Amino acid sequence: MAEQLIGKRVEVLDKGWIELIDLMPHPASKISGDLAIVNAARVSFLGESKGPDRDKKLLFYLLRHRHTSPFEMVEFKFRVRAPLVTWWQWARHRTWNMNAQSGRYTPFQESDFYVPDVWRRQSKDNKQASEGALAAAENDELTRELLDHYAEGFRLYSQALEQGVSKEMARLFLPGFSVYYTWVAKIDAHNLMRFLRLRMASDAQFEIRVYAEAINQRFFKRALPWTAEAFERYVLNGG
Q: Say how far residue 97 (Cα) sits from the centre of its chain.
A: 12
Q: Say how far residue 224 (Cα) sits from the centre of its chain.
A: 17
Radius of gyration of the chain (CA): 21
Strand blocks (E) in 142-191: 180-188
Q: Residue 179 carries which DSSP code?
A: B
Contacts of 161 (CB under 8 A, 6+ apart): 107, 167, 170
Counting every residue written for the chain, the total comes to: 239
Let me know: does 208 contact 90? Beta carbons within 8 Å.
yes
Q: Given phi > 0 = left and psi -120 to 50 = alpha, else beta, which region is 127?
A: alpha
Catalytically annotated residues: 199
How far is Cα 93 from Cα 184, in angstroms, rounded to an integer?
14
